């Protein structure tokens, strides 16, 4: 269990101004947090290593064109504000 003095010292180290009323609440909260952390540590330290880690496998697909060349060209160029043949025209940026 954490004491009020320890919480006060932590607050000072964190450059926090804490009054007595807040100190009581913070002490209870810190106790809850530390209790939870100890439970998590206990669970993780009890692991006997018997579980097997899943194998890391990258699922890859073959690099193959899924559309016919030019299948959407006219539709895309029809939506563009400015074109030059089969190309989009954009402002020159330097």
| pLDDT score recorded for residue 81 | 92
Alpha-carbon span 27 to 8, nearest angstrom: 9
User: Is residue 88 within 8 Å of 82, Cβ to Cβ?
Assistant: yes
What's the fold here for domain 4-45? Answer: Histone, subunit A (1.10.20)
* Alpha helix (H) residue ranges in 46-72: none
> Is there a contact between 25 and 8 (Cβ–Cβ < 8 Å)?
no
Q: Render pLDDT for 2-59 as a digit per residue (tens, 0 to 9).
A: 888 999 999 999 999 998 889 988 998 998 999 999 988 888 776 666 667 777 888 8
pTM beyond 0.85, yes or no:
no
Domain borders along the chain are 4-45
Residue 58's pLDDT is what?
A: 84
Express each pLDDT in 63-87 by its tens digit.
Answer: 888 889 889 988 999 999 999 988 8
């Amino acid at each position: 269990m954490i004491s009020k003095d320890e919480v006060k010292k932590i607050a000072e180290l964190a450059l926090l101004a804490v009054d007595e009323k807040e100190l009581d609440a913070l002490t209870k909260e810190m106790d809850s947090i530390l209790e939870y952390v100890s439970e998590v540590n206990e669970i993780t330290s009890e692991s006997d290593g018997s579980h097997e880690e899943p194998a890391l496998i990258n699922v890859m697909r073959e690099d193959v064109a899924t559309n016919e060349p030019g299948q959407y060209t006219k539709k895309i160029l029809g939506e563009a504000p400015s074109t030059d043949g089969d190309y989009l025209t954009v402002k020159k940026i330097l």
